[in-house]
Amino acid sequence: MRRTAFFVFLVAIAGCTSAPTTKRLAQDAAGAMGGADRLQSIRTVSMKGGVGTRLRLGQTVHATDMETPAMLKNVVETFDLPNGRAMLDYELQLGAFGQHRREILTKKNGKPVGLEDVAGRPLAVMSPDGLFSWGTQNNPSFLLRRNVVTIMKAALASGSDAAPEDRQLDGKTYKYGKTTLGDDSVGLYFDPESKLLAGYETLDTESMLGDVPAQYILGDYREAGGIKLPHKITIRKGNQPYAEVEFSSAAVNDAASDAVFTIPDAASAEVDKAIEAGSYSPIALMKIGEGVYFARAYSHNSMIVEFPTWLTVVEAAYTNAQSATLVRALTDQFPGKPIRYAVVTHHHFDHIGGVRGLAAAAATILVEKGHEPVLRAVFEAPHTKPPDPLQIARQNHKAGMLEIFEGKKVLTDGTQTLELYPITGNPHVDPKVVAYVPSARALFQSDLFIPGVGAPAGPDAVHLLESIRALKLRVDTNVGGHGGVGPFAELEKAVAAATKK
């Protein structure tokens, strides 16, 4: 009798200790990868030779068009956990547009700074929030927080003791439990057969999409440097495909990985400036006519129109860091004149990444009706982890609003005038707003023609010139969202050369 009771007691204890918990599943997963000690010893990982796709680039012709995926190749992703550094290196091809880009989140004296290295351009230096990426994420900081090593370490440290549940992912049943990573709650899918972590999900605050439920699906675990790492990573945001990449190899704790984070000597002074400034992206103001200024950035420029008591920015480009830098430059140069309006020329993400930053500075965002579907989504999305400048301005009731217009729109206060014309039928984007300042006979457009650099004219530029002539605008100066400032004759000559054949 006593012996039976003791046996029952033993069975109960055994059943208790072996009852699966999320933490236990994480321990098993670490074991399947090569052991928890090996996992804990990982400092750097460099995934190499990646091929894949990226969506959500915001580059459609019409704001309501379905997106086609961009192709990624030669993808190298490196993260350095103890030093908080990460890099995305890839070649992107979207239709005829191709770029080899590297976005690097690195540190100088322990302080984070961003480097953007695009083939054929000088290296650009900015604060980490100024980094803009078309890789598998839109900022390398995601790579630091959303890689398998970081998630597994979090699961080992703080996986819950609750019993996991069965949950389906893509038609397969997994053991699902939760862990925390900083402020983030992360759901974990463990494969009951291989024991490996098959995926995880959490909330990402994405610079363009805002707060989105994000899923990371891991596949093709292969051994590299004494640990099994997933070589295939599929990312979904807002329940839609975002990025997918299959790597051919990986290097763990490889000293050679450090080199990618080295700050070139020539960039050192600019790095100090970026760290000192806080939110920073290089920008310089140049006068091009009475009350008209060119805001030259390293990639995506804007035009400033000065009115007697306020300013208008044409094109809120690229990033919130660029908007923050522009706001500081304008406050210095035009004390007491607020930015009343920021004009959107088209809905492409690289040309509206600064919209939220300028709305945070209380500017009204002027949007043509054709661009509204994209702009409203970008403008209204909550951004909470961490809050972006517009999220904070909204909490303080100081944020600017969207104002939708249709057809020609004129801003004037009697002495200065800015005319906005949506032109239709352009192959690049439809509609496309061009901005004309009659007092300076200056016309700003982006992406259709690159002024000031002797660029050839493609079909976009041919259509631009036809549109300017149809509108009967007297233009002396072309102001470029890319490139620089050039005489109108430059466009006429380039179009003549392009259409002669």
- Give the binding site for Zn ion (CB under 5 A): 348, 447
Contact 446, 455 (CB under 8 A): no
Q: How far is the CB of 56 from Zn ion (least distance, A)?
A: 15
Residue nearest to Zn ion (CB): 348
Q: How far is the CB of 429 from Zn ion (least distance, A)?
A: 5
Which uninterrupted H or E stretch holds 39?
A: helix 36-40
User: In this structure, which amino acid lies at residue 97?
Assistant: F
CA distance 234 to 136: 9
Q: How far is the CB of 482 from Zn ion (least distance, A)?
A: 9
Considering beta carbons, is residue 426 or 477 the nearer one to Zn ion? 426
Considering beta carbons, is residue 246 or 460 the nearer one to Zn ion? 460
Q: How far is the CB of 110 from Zn ion (least distance, A)?
A: 38
Which uninterrupted H or E stretch holds 491?
A: helix 488-500
Q: How far is the CB of 454 from Zn ion (least distance, A)?
A: 21
Q: How far is the CB of 351 from Zn ion (least distance, A)?
A: 6
CA distance 115 to 125: 5
Considering beta carbons, is residue 430 or 447 the nearer one to Zn ion? 447
**Nearest Cα to Cα of residue 73 among 58, 89, 60:** 89
HSE (side-chain half, CA atoms, 13 Å) at 226: 11
* Measured distance between the N- and C-terminal CA atoms of the chain, rounded to whole angstroms: 103
- Say what angle helices 459-471 and 488-500 make with each other, to 10 degrees: 120
Q: How far is the CB of 356 from Zn ion (least distance, A)?
A: 18
Q: How far is the CB of 399 from Zn ion (least distance, A)?
A: 26
Contact 155, 188 (CB under 8 A): yes
Backbone angles phi, psi at 111, to 5 degrees: -105, 130
Considering beta carbons, is residue 360 or 423 the nearer one to Zn ion? 423
DSSP string spanning 457-478?
A: P-HHHHHHHHHHHHHT---SEE
**Nearest Cα to Cα of residue 426 among 394, 467, 398, 385:** 467
Considering beta carbons, is residue 224 or 429 the nearer one to Zn ion? 429
**Alpha carbon 292 to its chain's center:** 30
SS3 state at 173: strand
Considering beta carbons, is residue 153 or 348 the nearer one to Zn ion? 348
Considering beta carbons, is residue 127 or 345 the nearer one to Zn ion? 345
Considering beta carbons, is residue 195 or 351 the nearer one to Zn ion? 351
Contact 149, 299 (CB under 8 A): no
Considering beta carbons, is residue 368 or 447 the nearer one to Zn ion? 447
Q: How far is the CB of 344 from Zn ion (least distance, A)?
A: 11
